[in-house]
Amino acid sequence: MKVIICIGSCCHLKGARQVVKKLQFLINENGLTDLVELGGTPCRGKCQYDVCVTVDDKFYSVSPETAEQFFCENILSKLNRP
Amino acid sequence: MNILFGPPSNPADSREMLSLFFSESGKHIVCGGSTSIMTAEFLEKPLKTSLSYKNPDIPPISEIEGVDLTTEGIITLSKVLLYLNDFLSEKKLYSEWKSQDDSASLICQMISEENVVNFFVGKAENHAHDNLTGFDKKSVLVSKLCECLRLMGKQVNIQYF
Protein backbone atom coordinates (compact mmCIF):
# COMPACT_ATOMS: atom_id res chain seq x y z
CA MET A 1 0.00 0.00 0.00
CA LYS A 2 1.38 3.36 -1.05
CA VAL A 3 0.39 6.42 1.01
CA ILE A 4 1.52 9.79 -0.34
CA ILE A 5 1.20 13.04 1.62
CA CYS A 6 1.48 16.49 0.06
CA ILE A 7 4.14 18.64 1.70
CA GLY A 8 3.61 21.67 -0.55
CA SER A 9 3.06 25.24 0.63
CA CYS A 10 -0.67 25.17 1.38
CA CYS A 11 -0.74 21.67 2.87
CA HIS A 12 2.24 22.59 5.02
CA LEU A 13 0.29 25.48 6.50
CA LYS A 14 -2.73 23.23 7.01
CA GLY A 15 -0.72 20.84 9.16
CA ALA A 16 0.95 18.39 6.76
CA ARG A 17 3.81 17.84 9.20
CA GLN A 18 1.39 16.83 11.95
CA VAL A 19 -0.43 14.48 9.56
CA VAL A 20 2.91 12.93 8.57
CA LYS A 21 3.97 12.45 12.17
CA LYS A 22 0.61 10.96 13.13
CA LEU A 23 0.57 8.48 10.26
CA GLN A 24 4.21 7.53 10.82
CA PHE A 25 3.40 6.82 14.46
CA LEU A 26 0.24 4.83 13.73
CA ILE A 27 1.86 2.78 10.97
CA ASN A 28 4.75 1.95 13.25
CA GLU A 29 2.59 1.28 16.29
CA ASN A 30 0.41 -1.13 14.32
CA GLY A 31 3.37 -3.01 12.88
CA LEU A 32 2.60 -1.96 9.32
CA THR A 33 5.97 -0.56 8.25
CA ASP A 34 6.57 -3.49 5.91
CA LEU A 35 3.13 -3.17 4.33
CA VAL A 36 2.76 0.60 3.97
CA GLU A 37 5.11 2.73 1.93
CA LEU A 38 4.81 6.33 3.14
CA GLY A 39 6.04 9.08 0.85
CA GLY A 40 5.70 12.75 0.01
CA THR A 41 4.71 14.80 -3.00
CA PRO A 42 5.04 18.46 -3.87
CA CYS A 43 1.85 20.40 -4.54
CA ARG A 44 -0.38 18.94 -7.24
CA GLY A 45 -2.92 21.76 -7.12
CA LYS A 46 -5.80 20.51 -4.92
CA CYS A 47 -5.33 23.37 -2.49
CA GLN A 48 -9.00 23.85 -1.66
CA TYR A 49 -8.94 20.76 0.58
CA ASP A 50 -7.21 19.94 3.88
CA VAL A 51 -3.88 18.12 3.63
CA CYS A 52 -3.94 16.07 0.43
CA VAL A 53 -3.26 12.38 0.93
CA THR A 54 -3.55 9.52 -1.55
CA VAL A 55 -3.83 5.83 -0.70
CA ASP A 56 -2.90 3.77 -3.75
CA ASP A 57 -3.77 6.83 -5.87
CA LYS A 58 -7.18 7.38 -4.23
CA PHE A 59 -7.48 10.95 -2.96
CA TYR A 60 -8.39 11.97 0.59
CA SER A 61 -8.50 15.29 2.43
CA VAL A 62 -7.01 14.83 5.91
CA SER A 63 -6.46 17.21 8.81
CA PRO A 64 -4.28 16.63 11.89
CA GLU A 65 -7.55 16.16 13.81
CA THR A 66 -8.94 13.53 11.44
CA ALA A 67 -5.66 11.71 10.74
CA GLU A 68 -6.27 8.88 13.19
CA GLN A 69 -9.80 8.23 11.91
CA PHE A 70 -8.50 8.37 8.34
CA PHE A 71 -5.82 5.82 9.26
CA CYS A 72 -8.35 3.42 10.79
CA GLU A 73 -10.84 3.68 7.95
CA ASN A 74 -8.53 3.77 4.96
CA ILE A 75 -5.29 2.07 5.91
CA LEU A 76 -5.87 -0.30 8.82
CA SER A 77 -9.21 -1.64 7.64
CA LYS A 78 -8.00 -2.03 4.04
CA LEU A 79 -5.10 -4.12 5.25
CA ASN A 80 -7.69 -6.30 7.02
CA ARG A 81 -6.29 -5.51 10.41
CA PRO A 82 -8.75 -5.16 13.35
CA MET B 1 24.59 29.47 -8.54
CA ASN B 2 21.27 29.27 -10.31
CA ILE B 3 17.80 29.35 -8.77
CA LEU B 4 14.69 28.28 -10.69
CA PHE B 5 11.42 29.48 -9.19
CA GLY B 6 8.04 29.09 -10.82
CA PRO B 7 6.84 27.73 -14.18
CA PRO B 8 6.77 30.11 -17.16
CA SER B 9 3.60 32.06 -17.93
CA ASN B 10 3.36 30.14 -21.22
CA PRO B 11 3.87 26.42 -20.58
CA ALA B 12 5.30 26.09 -24.09
CA ASP B 13 8.31 28.10 -22.87
CA SER B 14 9.27 25.59 -20.19
CA ARG B 15 11.81 23.75 -22.35
CA GLU B 16 13.57 26.98 -23.26
CA MET B 17 13.54 28.14 -19.63
CA LEU B 18 14.95 24.86 -18.36
CA SER B 19 17.51 24.56 -21.16
CA LEU B 20 18.86 28.01 -20.31
CA PHE B 21 18.81 27.21 -16.58
CA PHE B 22 20.81 24.01 -16.96
CA SER B 23 23.19 25.52 -19.50
CA GLU B 24 24.55 27.82 -16.81
CA SER B 25 27.53 26.57 -14.84
CA GLY B 26 27.40 26.29 -11.08
CA LYS B 27 24.89 24.84 -8.68
CA HIS B 28 21.23 24.43 -9.65
CA ILE B 29 18.48 24.92 -7.10
CA VAL B 30 14.83 24.32 -7.98
CA CYS B 31 12.17 25.93 -5.80
CA GLY B 32 8.46 25.17 -5.88
CA GLY B 33 6.13 22.23 -6.38
CA SER B 34 5.05 22.87 -9.96
CA THR B 35 8.60 23.91 -10.77
CA SER B 36 9.98 20.65 -9.37
CA ILE B 37 7.49 18.56 -11.33
CA MET B 38 8.27 20.48 -14.52
CA THR B 39 12.03 20.04 -13.96
CA ALA B 40 11.76 16.30 -13.31
CA GLU B 41 9.76 15.88 -16.52
CA PHE B 42 12.35 17.88 -18.48
CA LEU B 43 15.24 15.84 -17.12
CA GLU B 44 13.21 12.62 -17.45
CA LYS B 45 14.15 11.71 -13.91
CA PRO B 46 11.99 10.68 -10.96
CA LEU B 47 11.05 13.23 -8.32
CA LYS B 48 11.49 11.83 -4.83
CA THR B 49 9.99 13.87 -2.02
CA SER B 50 11.15 13.36 1.54
CA LEU B 51 8.98 13.38 4.65
CA SER B 52 11.92 14.36 6.82
CA TYR B 53 11.30 17.70 8.55
CA LYS B 54 14.71 19.09 9.49
CA ASN B 55 12.92 22.25 10.66
CA PRO B 56 9.22 22.02 11.62
CA ASP B 57 8.53 25.35 9.91
CA ILE B 58 9.94 24.39 6.52
CA PRO B 59 8.68 21.70 4.13
CA PRO B 60 11.04 18.82 3.39
CA ILE B 61 13.31 18.72 0.38
CA SER B 62 12.88 16.62 -2.72
CA GLU B 63 15.47 15.01 -4.95
CA ILE B 64 15.87 15.06 -8.70
CA GLU B 65 18.99 13.59 -10.23
CA GLY B 66 20.88 16.44 -11.85
CA VAL B 67 19.59 19.12 -9.45
CA ASP B 68 21.73 20.12 -6.48
CA LEU B 69 18.76 21.03 -4.27
CA THR B 70 15.00 20.80 -4.79
CA THR B 71 12.73 22.61 -2.36
CA GLU B 72 9.22 23.90 -1.75
CA GLY B 73 8.80 27.50 -2.92
CA ILE B 74 7.23 30.38 -1.04
CA ILE B 75 7.73 29.27 2.57
CA THR B 76 11.33 28.19 1.99
CA LEU B 77 12.41 31.31 0.11
CA SER B 78 10.61 33.53 2.63
CA LYS B 79 12.76 31.91 5.31
CA VAL B 80 15.85 32.49 3.15
CA LEU B 81 14.89 36.17 2.94
CA LEU B 82 14.47 36.31 6.72
CA TYR B 83 17.91 34.74 7.21
CA LEU B 84 19.60 37.04 4.69
CA ASN B 85 17.98 40.20 6.10
CA ASP B 86 19.18 39.14 9.53
CA PHE B 87 22.66 38.51 8.13
CA LEU B 88 22.71 42.11 6.86
CA SER B 89 21.64 43.50 10.24
CA GLU B 90 21.81 41.81 13.62
CA LYS B 91 23.18 38.40 12.67
CA LYS B 92 21.12 36.76 15.41
CA LEU B 93 20.09 33.88 13.17
CA TYR B 94 23.44 33.12 11.53
CA SER B 95 24.30 30.42 14.06
CA GLU B 96 20.91 28.87 13.27
CA TRP B 97 21.27 28.50 9.51
CA LYS B 98 25.02 28.05 9.10
CA SER B 99 24.90 24.46 10.32
CA GLN B 100 21.30 23.28 9.92
CA ASP B 101 20.21 21.08 7.03
CA ASP B 102 16.70 22.26 6.24
CA SER B 103 16.16 23.63 2.74
CA ALA B 104 16.32 27.33 3.67
CA SER B 105 19.54 26.87 5.65
CA LEU B 106 21.09 24.90 2.80
CA ILE B 107 20.21 27.64 0.29
CA CYS B 108 21.77 30.27 2.57
CA GLN B 109 24.90 28.16 3.00
CA MET B 110 25.22 27.86 -0.78
CA ILE B 111 24.61 31.58 -1.27
CA SER B 112 27.34 32.44 1.23
CA GLU B 113 29.87 30.60 -0.95
CA GLU B 114 28.87 32.23 -4.23
CA ASN B 115 29.58 35.58 -5.87
CA VAL B 116 26.98 35.31 -8.60
CA VAL B 117 23.32 34.31 -8.22
CA ASN B 118 21.17 33.82 -11.33
CA PHE B 119 17.40 33.73 -10.91
CA PHE B 120 15.16 32.08 -13.48
CA VAL B 121 11.66 33.14 -12.49
CA GLY B 122 8.50 31.85 -14.08
CA LYS B 123 5.61 34.29 -14.16
CA ALA B 124 2.81 31.72 -14.22
CA GLU B 125 0.13 32.63 -11.70
CA ASN B 126 -0.14 30.17 -8.85
CA HIS B 127 -3.64 30.55 -7.47
CA ALA B 128 -2.74 28.23 -4.61
CA HIS B 129 -0.83 31.23 -3.28
CA ASP B 130 -3.97 33.42 -3.21
CA ASN B 131 -4.83 32.09 0.24
CA LEU B 132 -1.30 32.11 1.63
CA THR B 133 -1.58 34.92 4.15
CA GLY B 134 1.53 36.35 5.71
CA PHE B 135 3.77 35.68 2.73
CA ASP B 136 4.89 37.96 -0.06
CA LYS B 137 3.79 37.13 -3.59
CA LYS B 138 6.45 35.43 -5.69
CA SER B 139 7.40 38.57 -7.64
CA VAL B 140 7.78 40.64 -4.46
CA LEU B 141 9.74 37.88 -2.74
CA VAL B 142 12.17 37.58 -5.64
CA SER B 143 12.61 41.35 -5.75
CA LYS B 144 13.40 41.47 -2.03
CA LEU B 145 15.80 38.52 -2.29
CA CYS B 146 17.69 40.17 -5.15
CA GLU B 147 17.98 43.42 -3.23
CA CYS B 148 19.32 41.52 -0.23
CA LEU B 149 21.86 39.65 -2.30
CA ARG B 150 23.10 42.84 -3.94
CA LEU B 151 23.56 44.41 -0.51
CA MET B 152 25.60 41.33 0.38
CA GLY B 153 27.87 42.15 -2.57
CA LYS B 154 26.62 39.42 -4.88
CA GLN B 155 26.17 39.87 -8.59
CA VAL B 156 22.51 39.09 -9.28
CA ASN B 157 20.94 38.35 -12.64
CA ILE B 158 17.22 37.73 -13.18
CA GLN B 159 15.48 36.29 -16.20
CA TYR B 160 11.69 36.16 -16.32
CA PHE B 161 9.71 33.72 -18.40
Pick the residue from chain A with its C-alpha nearest to B70. A42
pLDDT digits (tens, 9 = 90+) for A22-59: 999 999 999 999 999 999 999 988 888 999 999 999 99
Where are chain B's structural domains?
2-160
Nearest in space to B36 (alpha carbons), one of B66, B2, B72: B72
Q: How far is A67 from chain B (nearest CA, A)?
A: 16
In terms of phi and psi (left: phi > 0; alpha: psi -120 to 50; beta: otherwise), the region of B115 is: alpha
Where are chain A's structural domains?
2-50+63-76
What is the pLDDT confidence band of residue A7, given thresholds at 50, 70 and 90? very high
Residue A24 is given by DSSP the state H
CB B30 within 8 A of CB B1: no
CB contact under 8 A, A7 and B74: no
Instruction: Classify residue A7 as exposed, middle or buried by CB count within 10 Å of its CB (0-12, 13-18, 19+).
Output: buried
Q: What is the ipTM of this complex?
A: 0.92
Q: Sort out which chain B residues have CB atoms less than 8 A from A24's CB and list them.
A: 51
A82: pLDDT strictly greater than 60: no
Q: Sort out which chain B residues have CB atoms less than 8 A from A12's CB and list them.
A: 59, 72, 75
pTM comes to 0.95
∠ CA B70-A59-A71, nearest 5°, is 95
Mean pLDDT by 10 residues, chain B (161 residues): 97 97 98 97 97 96 98 97 96 95 98 97 85 87 97 97 97
CB contact under 8 A, B51 and A47: no
